[in-house]
Amino acid sequence: MPRYTVHIRDEWLAVPCRDPTYTIQWLGYEALKRYTKNKPDNGGIDAVKDIRFVARRCQGQGLLDGDDTIEDVLEDNDFVEIAIEGDTMSPDFIPYQPGVSHLYPSCHTPKKTDFDSFLIHASLSFCPYLYIRYEYIHSSVNTLVLFWGSYYTILYHYTNSPIMLWCLGVGNPLSPERTRMLLALRINVLAKGYSGISLETLHRMIQAFNASCLSFVPEKGTVGASGDLAPLSHLALGLMGEGKMWSPKSGWADAKYVLEAHGLKPISLKPKEGLALINGTQMITSLGAEAVERAQAIARQADIIAAITLEVLKGTSKAFDSDIHALRPHPGQIEVAMRFRALLDSDHHPSEIAESHRFCDRVQDAYTMRCCPQVHGIVNDTIDFTQKIINTEINSATDNPMVFAERGETISGGNFHGEYPAKALDFLAIGVHELAAISERRIERLCNPSLSELPAFLVNEGGLNSGFMIAHCTAASLVSENKVLCHPSSVDSLSTSAATEDHVSMGGWAARKALRVVEHVEQVLAIELLAACQGIEFLRPLRTTTPLEKVYDLVRSVVKPWIKDRFMSPDIEAVHRLLLDQKVWNVAQPYIEKYNMELLPESRPISPTAFSLDPPASPRKRIRLE
């Protein structure tokens, strides 16, 4: 008999349908009857027949017509949302959130991220070689169970308890994308073969991953040792058919219904598996991996944005001469200087803007322009260092106790301790923050007419128009917030568990705040990119280099020039989206790679302001363009 799962307010109801020719209206009223029957006060509903409602299919949020037959618009085990007319709207509704009702559907598709092709669409499979190894490993666990007899009978009874007891996370849930990454990393650790988990349990986890059946995992509640117990317990709870789960088909719903709707069975835990599912650093590393990826993306785009600002402020590119940086050969510094040379005025990509002030009387630029290789460079090296730590952690066995099948032993150790990724992510936050700190100072130079020789706040009719005045304030607020977030969480250990777990990493907070710092950096650089492109408007008809003109064109494809004051938040969001999608990098990358791979010779002097033994008789000062 077909069955449908219907969501009304804070309840999910399983409604069987004997006749698929019944209508959607029948399904709605049948669900309402069941809803009122289970409520002491009938859910505040006096008469079901008088209720008016809207029905939607959870998958895709398609509106359902009450006169349509069920067999025409729904599939067996489909999820349906019933919104009662008159209920209040809460777009952030999550089932079982106390005291919240809604009008619009709560089952929305997750927001896209830079790597959602993996997080939402990719699937996992089991390496054939591991089948044999896993049978051997789990047989070792079973041997221990038989050897220790009644002791392990108690352990078998206890194996579900840790998960139930440690589902104590609080706060907003992780997004489906982040939860899927968390599940993927946990599967990867278990597949190492040192956790004593059965092949059957691992298979069911992989099936849940491939179907994107994702548990409700609160983001707060881990101290990062003994592993990420609370979030991993929530992850396991959904796989056991308890609590809440999300899938593209259902949205947030009861885990048992979500699994059943996808033809999956809940995990039935065996000895050792309760601890095996929840001991490890995967919460730290899943969020940390995203922070590293986003930090890499924004760091290389920061070089491009700074190059545009330098052009607008009529700075010199001589500070990026390869001979200077060869004398201080930090890899990140050398790479950033190379990118600036590839993008700025040279024989390969001449700039009319640079030519316009070739013989000005300024000798050197402010640090925020001249020292970009040194400041941006250490960020690159910091990211590389953090990436190595996170990569090692992702591919390590972090369970406890560890099962060594070949030795016939289980040994308690400390691989669950999150100090390595915690320290690295604290370092990442400190490093990547500097991109925003120096960017905010460049925004100040762009907006300040005494420094930029451009109209105040990059807008005509100053006083009547505020231009980028408040955008600069927004950037300043984000930088200031980052300064607090850069305080290392891993230096703040607290003793827990009756002084047994007497040193912890606080790695979960290190990962979450690293992500927040990276997001703020992205937003500050989005504001700088907007301001720099606006500055180009006041230098027209002069043109910058070809790669930087391409970036300008990209920005103008989503944001028009600033003629007079308007609502700016959508502009910042649009450019932030360009940075998240790495479109700024994608535009400039071919020019950078061509320069780097073909080892194009540097023009000497490559800078309009480079020192020359034979300057013209009467040097020209730069002309302020009104």
Give tens-digit pLDDT for 353-371. 999 888 787 778 999 999 9
In the prediction, which pLDDT does 493 show?
82
In the prediction, which pLDDT does 10 show?
77
In the prediction, which pLDDT does 121 show?
56
In the prediction, which pLDDT does 492 show?
87
Mean pLDDT confidence for 89-98: 37
| Residue 616 placed within a domain | no
In the prediction, which pLDDT does 89 show?
39
> In terms of domains, do 323 and 410 share one?
yes
> In terms of domains, do 271 and 302 share one?
no
| Residue 151's pLDDT band (cuts 50, 70, 90) | very low
Cβ contact 493:224 at 8 Å: no
Mean pLDDT confidence for 93-103: 34
In the prediction, which pLDDT does 130 show?
61
SS (H, E, C) 459-477: CCCECCECCCHHHHHHHHH
Strand partners, 55: 64, 82
Percent of the chain whose pLDDT exceeds 70: 84
Tokens standing for 46? 């006096």
> In terms of domains, do 313 and 460 share one?
yes
Cβ contact 55:98 at 8 Å: no
Residue range 577-597, pLDDT digits in tens: 999 999 999 999 999 999 988
Other Cβ atoms closer than 10 A to 443: 27
* pTM of the model as a whole: 0.82
In the prediction, which pLDDT does 538 show?
97
> In terms of domains, do 74 and 131 share one?
no
| Residue 270's pLDDT band (cuts 50, 70, 90) | confident
Strand partners, 170: 220
Q: Which of 91-105, 162-176, 319-333, 430-444 is least confident? A: 91-105
In the prediction, which pLDDT does 603 show?
60
| Residue 613 placed within a domain | no
Tokens 């600036």: give the residue.
340
> Is the per-residue pLDDT at 416 higher than 60?
yes
> Is the per-residue pLDDT at 161 higher than 70?
no
Q: What is the CATH number of the domain that holds 39?
A: 3.10.20.90
- For the chain, what is the domain count? 3
Distance, in Å, from the CA atom of 566 to the CA atom of 562, rounded to the nearest integer, reads 8
> In terms of domains, do 457 and 591 share one?
yes
In the prediction, which pLDDT does 623 show?
43
> In terms of domains, do 162 and 255 share one?
yes
> In terms of domains, do 12 and 27 share one?
yes
Using alpha carbons, select from 343, 440, 330 the residue that is nearest to residue 385: 330
In the prediction, which pLDDT does 608 show?
52
| Residue 107 placed within a domain | no
Domain that holds residue 273: 117-280
Strands of 417-527 (E only): list them.
none
| Residue 188's pLDDT band (cuts 50, 70, 90) | very high
> In terms of domains, do 219 and 304 share one?
no
